Structure 1
Amino acid sequence: MKKRYTLEQKHWDNPADHPMPEHARVPATLTIGNVKIAPATVLAPMAGVTDTVFRRFIKNASQFSADADSNAANVEAATSNQQSGCGLIMTEFTSADGLSRMRETKRKRYLTYYDDEHPISAQLFGSNPETLADSARIVQDAGFDLVDLNLGCPAKRVVACNGGSGLLRDLPLIETIFKAVRAAVTIPFTVKFRIGWNDANIVCVELAKLAEDCGLNAAALHARTREDGYTGQARWEYIAAVKDAVKIPVIGNGDIRTPEDAAAMVDATGCDAVMIGRTAPSNPWIFRQIAQYTASKEATGVGTYDHPTNDDRYRMIRTYFQMMVDELAIEEQAEAARAAAITASGQIARDQRHRDCVGKMKQFASWFTHGVPGGSALRKQIFDSKNGAAVLGAVEHFFETKQAVEEANAEAILA
């Protein structure tokens, strides 16, 4: 059976419990080139996930209040981006070949972001040095703060084009790409990669040194091979080896499920920041929790953080789905402004966007309802919905019914 690397299948295999040293915590800040990132946490680029709606949603979900009653009271506002626990967000990986060939109007859609997303990094994949350099210039001209090269995606369709982790088998070509992109842009240039193609081809230390020699500003390592996919345990010792080998900032990625995991990775590897991927869709509060954990540990020596209530989950699901519907309306208004009449092809494109919106709602429902009692019933209602309004109605009905039952039970107890 062929392997397919989809986010839905990226579950953890018997996740390890890491020892928690007394003073372990995520750094308050990280500087990549001339870009300050605070705190030192990064939302990983995820295909089909980290579009502008999800990125802004994560920034909002990660915000904390630095008041006297908050666990985050000791996290100074000056060391955080808009008091968000997420320091840096990244786009979905984008094909350099596709980007360089797109019309300007379509290119803007792929590179859409909003002012409140800064600092933001655009991730590119491809294998042609000149095309990647051209696309990096496009990214820079679009106002992104950083540009990143994907050398980690294990998906077969990407590897087949020698993109993503497929390039790990060709370090000389990687060097050519590094030099071409570095010469093309002045914004910080980073790379995200895996430890190697397989256990017989571990190249992470050599690759990190190459990145440093070619003028890259930071390196992010997902501590698995391409052959591993998302199975087994991330091997953090390779993050430590890379950190020991280079002076540029090193960002650790792999198996961070909790604030404790984030602190343990920093302690075990010495990495300068942590990158979080598949935990974010199922627990959008993870960045805020890390900020709270860090602040409370600094203040009291004991790391604590808030856990979402059912009301929190309701607001989160409702907010994200509404943001998707609103973004769809913005796209349609922009399209209507460009065309006096809706052509047949335009109508087809509009219908496809609506299907994509509803499809993504259904995709995210399985993550967002994780841990919600009776969540399977809500997922079924969402999956049976035909449009965005129906999805929002299903969410409203589920949580209103749940609240009514809880209130009735409480009254019965008091009686």
Structure 2
Amino acid sequence: MKKRYTLEKKQWDDPIEHAMPERARVPASFDIGGVRIAPATVLAPMAGVTDTVFRRFIKNASMFSTGEGGDVETATTNQQSGCGLIMTEFTSADGLSRMRETKRKRYLTYYDDEHPISAQLFGSNPVTLADSARICQDAGFDIVDLNLGCPAKRVVACNGGSGLLRDLPLIGEIFKAVRAAVSIPFTVKFRMGWNDKNIVCVELAKMAEDCGLNAVALHARTREDGYTGQARWEWIAAVKDAVSIPVIGNGDVRTPEDAAAMVEKTRCDAVMIGRVAPANPWIFRQIAQYTATGRYDSPTDQDRYRMIRDYFQKMVEEIEMENANEIARAEAITAAGQIAREKQARDCVGKMKQFAAWFTHGVPGGGALRKQIFDAKKGAAVLDAVDEFFTRRAEAAVASEEDEVVPAELVPAGEYCD
């Protein structure tokens, strides 16, 4: 049976529940080259997820301040938020080097409030990767990162992502070519190896340090593991013992307790969060709060409502802005241009539906909202469905305070918590 590595399928296998460590906490900061990352938490690059809308959304959802009068919604820089470093979706170096400048800008779009931000590339040609790294540097990215972890078949088939883990000499050539091409910090994210018979993470980390890379991030699984089984944190510890450059740990961090436990068990310099972020975009804020106070808050219904609606609204606005830019560039609205704009609108709604499953995780009756969103044809209809759902929930909460009765229609039969 073929494996499909989609985010929806990346569920945890019998996750380990970690107790709150008495001593260890996620570090307040660490440095990648000359770039200060504060706090020491990183949003993992995720294909189809970590576009500019999601990155900015995570940054704003993650804001946390312990100062007097501090508010998680106070405007702040990324270094002051609960998420220390944001990473782009992985981008094909081959595609980036070939595409037109206008299209390239769309792929490399980011905003000033996303700094520090890292651009992640994948590919297997040292020259092409070096050229693409220079493009990212010229575009103003703070860090460039090489993907040696993606297990997707279509990426591995091109000898990209984790496919390169079978060819350490070629990885060495890539490290040297990219390092020579850019002056900004250069990092790599990789897996333990191709399979259990080919564990190369320690050797690879040493090679990265020898070639002048500024940090390494290890997802403690093999390519063959995909996203199954337990992440083997002991290999993060082994990499940390082997090199002096910063080591970022990745794999099975679902809660602030998990993040603290990873630091305690591996002594890693930072923690990278991936698949939990779409379902719980407050995870970075919770880690920051737990680090500062020893406790953290769970999101309320109003938090979820504001989060879902704000994210979808930002997505609609981004599509509208792209359309406006297209119109401004065009001398006339051609049939092809109109088709392209209609496709963008459909893509926007499609992405809303994709995120609906994650954003409504843990919401009682969330299946009803998902059905409304999946049936919607336009972005406005999605927003209306969100408004209606949470308005009804708020009204039900008021009613339950008065007579402790929740209207049955708000809780579909056989369903309580998604």
Q: If the TM-score is normalised by the length of the shorter chain, which range does it land in?
A: over 0.9
Q: Which amino acid aligns with 1:226?
A: R
Aligned to 2:198: 201
- Secondary structure of 1:186's partner? coil
Query: Compared with structure 1, are the counterparts of its residues 71 and 339 closer, same or farther at alpha carbon in structure 2 (3 Å cutoff)?
Result: closer
Aligned: 1:58 with 2:58: yes
Of 160, 182, 187, the match for 1:185: 182
Between stretches 128-137 and 18-27, larger displacement belongs to: 18-27
Aligned to 1:411: 402
Query: Compared with structure 1, are the counterparts of its residues 35 and 193 closer, same or farther at alpha carbon in structure 2 (3 Å cutoff)?
Result: same
Q: Which amino acid aligns with 1:44?
A: A
Of 253, 258, 271, the match for 2:255: 258
Between stretches 396-405 and 115-124, larger displacement belongs to: 396-405
Aligned: 1:21 with 2:41: no
Aligned to 2:32: 32
**TM value normalised by structure 1:** 0.95
Aligned to 1:299: none
> 1:148-163 to 2 correspondence within 5 Å?
148-163=145-160
Q: Which amino acid aligns with 1:89?
A: I
The runs of 5 or more residues in structure 1 that have no matched partner are 297-302
What is the deviation of 1:409?
2.8
Q: Which amino acid aligns with 1:127?
A: S
Between stretches 152-161 and 16-25, larger displacement belongs to: 16-25
Aligned: 1:289 with 2:286: yes
Of 364, 369, 374, the match for 2:360: 369
What is the deviation of 1:19?
4.9
Aligned: 1:384 with 2:375: yes
Aligned to 2:318: 327
Aligned: 1:316 with 2:297: no
Query: Compared with structure 1, are the counterparts of its residues 390 and 412 closer, same or farther at alpha carbon in structure 2 (3 Å cutoff)?
Result: same
Q: Which amino acid aligns with 2:180?
A: A
C-alpha RMSD of the superposition: 1.6
Q: Which amino acid aligns with 1:107?
A: R
Contact persistence 1:41–1:274 (CA under 8 A): yes
Distance 2:352 2:195 in 1: 35
Distance 2:27 2:112 in 1: 25
- Secondary structure of 2:218's partner? strand
What is the deviation of 1:17?
2.3
- Secondary structure of 2:244's partner? coil
Contact persistence 2:349–2:377 (CA under 8 A): yes
Of 316, 340, 343, the match for 1:349: 340
Aligned: 1:122 with 2:113: no
Aligned: 1:402 with 2:399: no
What is the deviation of 1:278?
0.3
Distance 1:37 1:95 in 2: 25
Contact persistence 1:37–1:81 (CA under 8 A): no
What is the deviation of 1:412?
3.4
Distance 1:81 1:236 in 2: 28
Contact persistence 2:59–2:78 (CA under 8 A): no
Of 234, 242, 247, the match for 1:237: 234
Query: Compared with structure 1, are the counterparts of its residues 205 and 122 closer, same or farther at alpha carbon in structure 2 (3 Å cutoff)?
Result: same
Q: Which amino acid aligns with 1:8?
A: E
What is the deviation of 1:65?
3.2
- Secondary structure of 1:192's partner? strand
What is the deviation of 1:62?
0.2
What is the deviation of 1:413?
5.5
Residue identity over aligned pairs, in percent, reads 80
Q: Which amino acid aligns with 2:46?
A: M
Q: Which amino acid aligns with 2:358?
A: W
Between stretches 229-238 and 9-18, larger displacement belongs to: 9-18
Distance 1:237 1:326 in 2: 44
Q: Which amino acid aligns with 1:310?
A: D
Distance 2:241 2:80 in 1: 31
Contact persistence 1:71–1:292 (CA under 8 A): no
Distance 1:170 1:237 in 2: 24
- Secondary structure of 2:190's partner? strand
Q: Which amino acid aligns with 1:353?
A: Q
Distance 2:404 2:218 in 1: 53
What is the deviation of 1:70?
6.8
What is the deviation of 1:83?
2.8
Cα deviation 1:291-350 (Å, max 9, x = unaligned): 000001xxxxxx200110011100100000000001111111111110121222212211
Contact persistence 1:195–1:202 (CA under 8 A): yes
Count of equivalent residues: 403
What is the deviation of 1:21?
3.2
The runs of 5 or more residues in structure 2 that have no matched partner are 406-418
